[in-house]
Amino acid sequence: MVSEYLVLGAGVTGLAAGVELKESAIVLEKDSSPGGLVRSKCFDGGYWYDYVLHLLHFKDPEIQARIGSYLGEVMSPCPPVAWIQTLEGSALYPFQLNIGGLSEEARNKCIVDYAKAYYHKNGEATEKNYKGYLKATFGDAMCDLFYFPYNEKMYKYPLEGIAVDDLTWNLHRPSFEEILKGGFQPNIPRPTYNTNAFYPCPKQVDAPLRGMELLSEALAKRVRNLELNTKVESVDPTKKTIYASKDGINSSYTYETACLSTLPLPALIRLCSNAPASLLKEVDTLQHTKVISVAISVKGERPKNPGHWRYYTDPNIPFTRLIFMNEFDPQASPEDGWALLAEVTWPGKEPIPSEKELTDKVVEAVRAVGLLDDNSSIVGTHIWVIDPAYVIFTHETQRIINNCFEFLAPYGITSSGRYGNWEYSSMFQNIKAGFEWAKKVNKKSLA
Ligand SMILES: Cc1cc2nc3c(=O)[nH]c(=O)nc-3n(C[C@H](O)[C@H](O)[C@H](O)COP(=O)(O)OP(=O)(O)OC[C@H]3O[C@@H](n4cnc5c(N)ncnc54)[C@H](O)[C@@H]3O)c2cc1C
């Protein structure tokens, strides 16, 4: 089959590109439904879970309006409330603005250490490794209580080995006056990077689909040529040809002008028939973590004001976050219950533990943090793995990514999206990237 453009992968990046390119593109997706990470699951007779915590936040009014028009009235404002549980008490997110929620001693230490960091070197945090950057930005006490244990738990990688480049966009560095204010008037919601947020909430109780997958559905409906169950098996860049399999039958797709791949970058390079051995070696060194999502359907009274999600710094608690699905959509479960999603991170190259072992540990920890009482019962538990989930951006990563892009560019292949760019990015950023890539290549072909 020949088409002007080919898009590999129907996550939100590939879908956005497909929407924009109309009939001139074919989108190939290995799974039986579109959306990639942005999908939802329903279990136990009406308990809904997103694959991972998914809140849609925008920084561009044009894209917000466009997605709003696709989703219609289900797109509901959802300014998030998130709590951070430390060993010295809990604070509303962002942590640094709410340290008054901690014990008095911890709060005072956080204030003193912040002042030392803030007034050092005129407040410039110039360190190039994440650990040094966090310490120079927030001071020792906040790092010891939250930033270090949480990030170590999440990345499962030494923080000294992580580069700051990819990670500063969601770190707010307040003035010292703001820190003091939060130290004495804590836990007041304040605007952050994700305040302009939305979540799809259908009004009907028996809606056939709930959760963030509604976003993928809205995009997929607008893609003209979407081939599901079609797995890219190899790529011959010199022939601009993709070899794929569908239900055991092999087929080939040739693009005339350009190809967008949203597959994880190392996987794409491995599929390219002419990838140099040196590049293959380099992509093997790229690091990531997996996320194991553990869904727990509970029958019983819903927790009172738990927030949309809570961060847990304690290394003895297996999850990094607990996500309260009913806070996003009150109808995410039957009325007499609630849907809880635990996020467990795991080193990218290590095999995952047995389902039973992990579920038992997670349920035990949920009880230990006081969220399951004797009057509640568990209706069902379910596990799935996101791999890759979080990219680990080491000091070598950018150089390797650039080498990959340089190799692909002469063949008209662009690698984009969260894993195609091998980055930490949001749905909004990737939808925008998909639209923009399509506009750019379309202009070129008209020129
Ligand atoms: C734990 C976690 C929490 C997050 N929270 C948020 C949040 O709150 N807000 C937010 O905006 N973003 C969040 N994100 C980020 C968001 O999920 C991503 O930015 C977005 O989903 C990436 O879309 P994508 O299309 O680039 O990639 P993907 O969704 O990974 O899509 C790639 C597609 O390629 C397909 N594919 C792979 N290999 C092949 C093959 N060989 N052949 C054919 N198809 C193939 C896959 O099946 C998939 O459909 C979160 C991500 C994670 C992991």
Cα 293-398-346 angle, rounded to 5 deg: 20
What is the per-residue pLDDT for 156? 95
Residue 227: how many CB atoms within 10 A of its CB? 16
What is the per-residue pLDDT for 444? 63
112 plus 156 within the same structural domain: yes
Query: Among 54, 154, 259, 319, which is best to mutate for testing ligand 1, by the most ligand atoms less than 8 A from CB?
Result: 54
Residue 230: inside a domain, yes or no? yes
409 plus 273 within the same structural domain: yes
| Ligand 1 center to 420 CA (angstroms) | 10
The tally of domains found in the chain comes to 3
| Ligand 1 center to 351 CA (angstroms) | 21
Residue 151: inside a domain, yes or no? yes
Q: Which tokens hold the place of 257?
A: 């002008």
Q: From atom 38 of ligand 1, which residue's Cα is the shortest distance away?
A: 263
Where does ligand 1 bind, in terms of residues with CB under 6 Å? Answer: 8-14, 28-31, 36-38, 52-56, 231-232, 262-263, 291, 386, 389, 417-419, 425-428, 430
225 plus 147 within the same structural domain: no
The residue among 392, 411, 435 that closes a domain is 392
Residue 88: inside a domain, yes or no? no
Query: Furthest-apart CA pair in the chain: how many Å?
Result: 69
The residue among 184, 219, 240 that closes a domain is 184
Residue 20: inside a domain, yes or no? yes
173 plus 214 within the same structural domain: no
What is the per-residue pLDDT for 338? 98
Residue 73: inside a domain, yes or no? no
What 8-state DSSP symbol labels residue 119? T
| Ligand 1 center to 107 CA (angstroms) | 38
275 plus 402 within the same structural domain: yes
- For residue 154, the surrounding DSSP H or E stretch is helix 148-155
Residue 321: inside a domain, yes or no? yes
Q: Which tokens hold the place of 366?
A: 């949920």
Nearest CA among 206, 215, 207 for reference residue 71: 215
Conformation bin of residue 139: beta by default, left when phi > 0, alpha when psi is -120 to 50:
left
Radius of gyration (C-alpha) of the chain in whole angstroms = 23
419 plus 335 within the same structural domain: no
Q: Which tokens hold the place of 328?
A: 């996003």
342 plus 292 within the same structural domain: yes
179 plus 231 within the same structural domain: no
| Ligand 1 center to 97 CA (angstroms) | 31
pLDDT tens, per residue, the chain with 447 residues: 999 999 999 999 999 999 999 999 999 999 999 999 999 999 999 999 999 999 999 999 999 999 999 999 999 999 999 999 999 999 999 999 999 999 999 999 999 999 999 887 655 566 778 999 999 999 999 999 999 999 999 999 999 999 987 666 667 788 999 999 999 998 887 777 777 899 999 999 999 999 999 999 999 999 999 999 999 999 999 999 999 999 999 999 999 999 999 999 999 999 999 999 999 999 999 999 999 999 999 999 999 999 999 999 999 999 999 999 999 999 999 999 999 999 999 999 999 999 999 999 999 999 999 999 889 999 999 999 999 999 999 999 999 999 999 999 999 999 999 999 999 999 999 999 999 999 999 876 555
Which CATH number do you get for residue 428?
Answer: 3.50.50.60
Domain that residue 152 falls in: 93-184
Residue 66: inside a domain, yes or no? no
Residue 248: inside a domain, yes or no? yes
387 plus 333 within the same structural domain: yes
